[in-house]
Structure 1
Amino acid sequence: MTGPLLGPGYLLLRDAVSTPRSYLSDAALGLTEAAPRALPQDFFMAVTSTVVDGGVVAKVLLVAGLWLAGWGSARLVSAVLPDTGLAGQCVAVTLAIWNPYVAERLLQGHWSLLVGYGCLPWVAAAMFGIRATGRGWPALVFWIALAGLTPTGLILAAIVALVCVRSRRAAAVVVTAAAAAALPWLTASVLAGSLSGVASTGVHAFAARAEPGLGTAGSLAGLGGIWNAQAVPGSRTSLFAVVATVVVVAVVVVGLPAALRVRAARPLLVLAVVAVVLPALLATGPGLALLETVVRTVPGLGLLRDGQKWVALALPGYVLAAAGVARYGRAVAVVSGAALIAVLPDLAWGVGGQMRAVHYPAGWATVAAMINADPRPVAVLPADSMRQFAWAGTAPVLDPLPRWVSADVLSSGDLVIGGQTVSGEGTRGRHVTALLLDGAPRQRLADAGVGWVVAEPGSPAVNLPVAYRDGDLTLYRVGGTAPGASGRAVAIAAHLVWLGVLVAAGLLALGRGLPGRRSRTGYTTPLT
């Protein structure tokens, strides 16, 4: 699945942007106008890329997320449905990794979300281990903190954990661990005031989408239905999607009776149903109206817009139900696993080669080095957040520059989806872009706090001193400056709390045993 990425080069596909080096800029700490959607991910990349190339870190985390999804699903089945044996575990592993949700999130570039996705079965298994043996608290905290690489991942993990709780103590641990892991983006939101409102909710643009021959509910039940029709494997763009969905649902339904007999599995099975039905309802007219009202009214709930990503909550329940087919015999399990792979053939080899390592032209490193030597605010042209690079393939990609420089990159954050503009939170970036397009003189741009302008081919000509130019980029020197954001020390401290919880819980869990060690009671628990 990730083969084309494993050679030299960088992951650069839609929302996935990796660069050789990242920095603890104001943006990486969430201290800008934009909502802190990528915290503490950006902090982690900035810290680790000082030692290891950032492209390698992103690849390792992506592969780890997929590996964890499969391994964790096997451990969850071993704990809850041990009589399904290795055959049941193999079906669970196959469904966890080889499904439309994974394919679509890979194509959308949501590698860090897939890390959180991979933690979900581990969270559920840890909860069951605690209920069976009273041990495994550090493991639970570790998986919640690791899923907290992004806000969405943290919320997913916390919901799975709370669904499985059976005591006030467990609920308190889950809430405390989640609060500690949420400190980076909660703190940044308060310091930057980035959750005070949104210019445009964009709920219609990000709603779950019906695939050919399927309604929205059917697409979601088959673990598909991402909002971006371009981030879909080819086999899901025709009526073959109906066949694929029938196979996925059939495997789950056939094994469901076996899972229902186990009381511990029932909350996760109910959660799986809710994870399909609720996003489907929110994609209807009344649901969209309600969601838009909520997003406009409650600060910070813009992350609810992408309804299909919450289908990840179905993972633990789906893999338990799928494992149940093994009770009908190993042959049924083998056929089920083979069928799951056969109906999504283009997930192989980087989703049909679309996800591959790319190489930046030499000018990118030169421009980044010049800006980092004098880190003044940077304006960019063209104004769109998404870029199209001939050397990176045919898919659009987020501008890599903000992740490669230590300076503040001024951008509006506007996105054009299906001809509809979804406004971002970058009012300052929008103002500076307007000045550039209006041909504002150098001094006016400097007074607006612009230090550099980076323009890509096809951008409007500007009358500014050229500091560097090649066939890919032009760097203009303006000379303006602007004060940095306040509260950096507090933001860094909040990130260190998350990192401390992650490392400490991981070490404690490892100190008590390796993943999958069997306890004296015979109950298999992770990291105990």
Structure 2
Amino acid sequence: MPRPVSLRPAVPALYSLALAAVVLGPLLTSPGYLLLRDAVSTPRSFPTDSALGLTDAAARAVPQDALLAAASSVVDGGLVVTALLTGALWAAGWGSARLVAVLLPTAGLPARLVAATVGVWNPYVAERLLQGHWSLLVGYAALPWTVVAAVAVRRGARSGWPALAVCLGVAGLTPTGALLASVTALAVLAPPGGRSRLVPRLAGAVALAGAVAAPWLVATAVSGGAGDGSDPAGVRAFAARAEPALGTLGSVAGLGGIWNADAVPASRTTVWALVGTAALLLVVACGVPALWRRRRNPVLGVLTALAAVAVLGPALAATGPGLQAGEWAMVHVPGAGLLRDTQKWVAWAVPLYALAAAAGVGTLHARFGGRAGVWATATALTVLLALPDLAWGVGGRVRPVQYPDAWQRVAATVPSGDGDVAVLPAGMFRRFEFSGAAPVLDPAPRMLRADVLQSGELVVAGGTVAGEGRGAAEVERLLLAGAAPADLAAHGVGWVLVEHGTPGDLGDSARTLEQLEPVVTDAALSLYRVPGVAGTPSDDRTAALAAHALWAAVSAGGLVGLLVLRRRVRRREHHGGRRRAREQS
């Protein structure tokens, strides 16, 4: 007689999915596109040179943009981003629960659900959602799974390497995610011990890390995006920020402190920031004694060290000496611009926080008695109430929008290979009536088949941070000066797109536009043709495409390996069940 199927193992996954749905409710219940600060989803995007990281700007969105270009050729791009973001929050909670099952195997289901709550429901997730860093959250979600996979490698499990390949590949959707997961994997694999040999496992992890980082490493090498250094002004602009009633250290210890004061939940702008942080840290502190008793476990030691770096590093980087060191690095260390948003590295603290919160359930149960489920419920509610407005799109601020029809007409008009697109007004950020009050990245680069020139210059509180796109900055200067169309054509510009209804500098561009042929004229957008331009594809596309293929192969190969192993296990279980049935008959 077959055994009844138990749903108990699926509870953490179902619970995490429910939490993700509560957080992302507006995106899941209404059609449209995520367009909020750095988050830009469009119906369709294309594999332009910019998407492959082959412009002179820093390659910060590879292979993310190439993946969206491929996926949106089959499925609407808005659905792709919503699915990836939902999967990220789901995986963050489920992975946290799985991490507890692996490292604290005596912790029961209630404790694992507490860990899942911490993984999904925290200020880091809220602030990165409001900043539009959906792809960073994909890398964040991979962290607990990366630890689980690295532990499997240490233990000599066959599933370890393919699982690690999948984790690093998924995290590698962005350069930051690749660094977060790769450092985590190497840190877990580095301590001696385990059934696998130290040097081979470290070498294997380094090889995987290099493969998943290939898209942005190759793009940076061939385009020179990091060759001139980053603007040192970005260090102060993107330093971690102290929240109300909390110093910088308290803010990052509470998993908050993002540099942009406008990208925080409303509750974190009041004294509730102190209350919520105290509640979260109390939940974590309850489990510290239990983790201390397991201090001989090298993996727990590594996660503790990573958490300490994640909290102390951004706090120290925001001090006077830390800012000076960062400014020096921006000028003298190639690629240091990737590190300037120091608060994003707070993600390394979350796996330890989730473990401590789960361990705290056992501590409370042992000390005060009662049922573990009651203590787990109280702990989870404490975490939820510490950040009440994360629900429903962080208080309704993360919601879909609809593009005016003119965007689709322009997208259908501009071909590839017929010159680049210059945009007006100047700058990368827009404030459209249809997208709400928050500034948003210009959607044109992800909407059009041609490369849209962007300087990368960012306007932040207290000043401007220069970008790396020198060529785009020169074209912008020509437009604002009212240059002749021939001057634009000499820089490879075949189109000028004017986006109406958003503030920004137009300079004397009207003189240039008067000499151009209007192709699309609408209240939302005007598109002009610049004559005499023939686009030339980048000579480096082959190398960039090969790097993206390598990244995809790592992820796909790992997934195939896991499926093959799972099929073998099921086959053995099936044959074992048949053999036992024959023996009993």
TM-score, shorter chain, exceeding 0.5: yes
Per-residue CA deviation, residues 204-252 of structure 1 (Å, 9 max, x unaligned), is 0000000011010100000000000000000000111000000111111
Which residue in 2 is equivalent to 1:472?
Answer: 524
Q: 1:485 aligns with which of 538, 561, 565?
A: 538
Which residue in 2 is equivalent to 1:189?
Answer: 220
Alignment RMSD, CA only? 1.7
Which residue in 2 is equivalent to 1:337?
Answer: 380
- Equivalent-residue separation in structure 1 for 2:415 and 2:423 (angstroms): 15
- Equivalent-residue separation in structure 1 for 2:95 and 2:200 (angstroms): 24
Which residue in 2 is equivalent to 1:89?
Answer: 112
Which residue in 1 is equivalent to 2:82?
Answer: 59
Give the Å deviation of 1:414. Answer: 0.8
Which residue in 2 is equivalent to 1:386?
Answer: 429
Give the Å deviation of 1:154. Answer: 0.7
For the residue of structure 1 that corresponds to 2:519, the secondary structure is strand
Q: How many residues align?
A: 518
- Equivalent-residue separation in structure 1 for 2:66 and 2:432 (angstroms): 26
- Equivalent-residue separation in structure 2 for 1:131 and 1:424 (angstroms): 42
- Equivalent-residue separation in structure 1 for 2:220 and 2:416 (angstroms): 29
Give identity over the alignment, percent: 52
- The aligned runs of 1:361-400 (5 Å cut-off) are 361-372=404-415, 375-400=418-443
Q: 1:213 aligns with which of 231, 236, 245?
A: 245
Which residue in 2 is equivalent to 1:312?
Answer: 347
Per-residue CA deviation, residues 373-408 of structure 1 (Å, 9 max, x unaligned), is 674211000111111110011111101111111212
- Equivalent-residue separation in structure 2 for 1:467 and 1:23 (angstroms): 21
Which residue in 1 is equivalent to 2:392?
Answer: 349
Q: Which has the larger radius of gyration?
A: 2
Aligned AA (1:472): A
Which residue in 2 is equivalent to 1:177?
Answer: 208
Per-residue CA deviation, residues 448-494 of structure 1 (Å, 9 max, x unaligned), is 32111000125633312211111100111112344332111111011
For the residue of structure 1 that corresponds to 2:110, the secondary structure is helix
Per-residue CA deviation, residues 282-301 of structure 1 (Å, 9 max, x unaligned), is 11010011011112111111
Contact kept? 1:95, 1:340, Cα under 8 Å: yes
Give the Å deviation of 1:270. Answer: 2.1
| 1:2 has 2:28 as partner | no
- Equivalent-residue separation in structure 1 for 2:130 and 2:409 (angstroms): 29
Which residue in 2 is equivalent to 1:523?
Answer: none
| 1:156 has 2:180 as partner | yes
Q: Provide TM-score, normalisation by structure 1.
A: 0.95
- Equivalent-residue separation in structure 2 for 1:258 and 1:303 (angstroms): 36
Aligned AA (2:247): G
Unaligned runs of 5+ in 1: 521-528
- The aligned runs of 1:375-524 (5 Å cut-off) are 375-457=418-500, 460=506, 461=510, 462-463=513-514, 464-479=516-531, 480-513=533-566
Which residue in 2 is equivalent to 1:283?
Answer: 318
- Equivalent-residue separation in structure 2 for 1:273 and 1:240 (angstroms): 24
- Equivalent-residue separation in structure 2 for 1:387 and 1:17 (angstroms): 12
For the residue of structure 1 that corresponds to 2:497, the secondary structure is strand
Contact kept? 1:223, 1:311, Cα under 8 Å: yes
Give the Å deviation of 1:133. Answer: 4.5
Aligned AA (2:169): A
Q: 1:105 aligns with which of 128, 131, 141?
A: 128
Contact kept? 1:260, 1:266, Cα under 8 Å: no
Runs (4 or more) in structure 1 with deviation over 4 Å come to none
- Equivalent-residue separation in structure 2 for 1:65 and 1:478 (angstroms): 42
Give the Å deviation of 1:447. Answer: 2.6
Q: Provide TM-score, normalisation by structure 2.
A: 0.86
Aligned AA (2:353): Y
- Equivalent-residue separation in structure 2 for 1:381 and 1:93 (angstroms): 45
More divergent stretch after superposition (263-272 vs 309-318):
263-272
Aligned AA (1:265): L
Aligned AA (2:561): L
For the residue of structure 1 that corresponds to 2:464, the secondary structure is strand
- The aligned runs of 1:22-171 (5 Å cut-off) are 22-135=45-158, 136-165=160-189, 166=192, 167-171=198-202
Give the Å deviation of 1:129. Answer: 2.2
For the residue of structure 1 that corresponds to 2:213, the secondary structure is helix
- Equivalent-residue separation in structure 2 for 1:259 and 1:199 (angstroms): 41
Contact kept? 1:375, 1:406, Cα under 8 Å: no
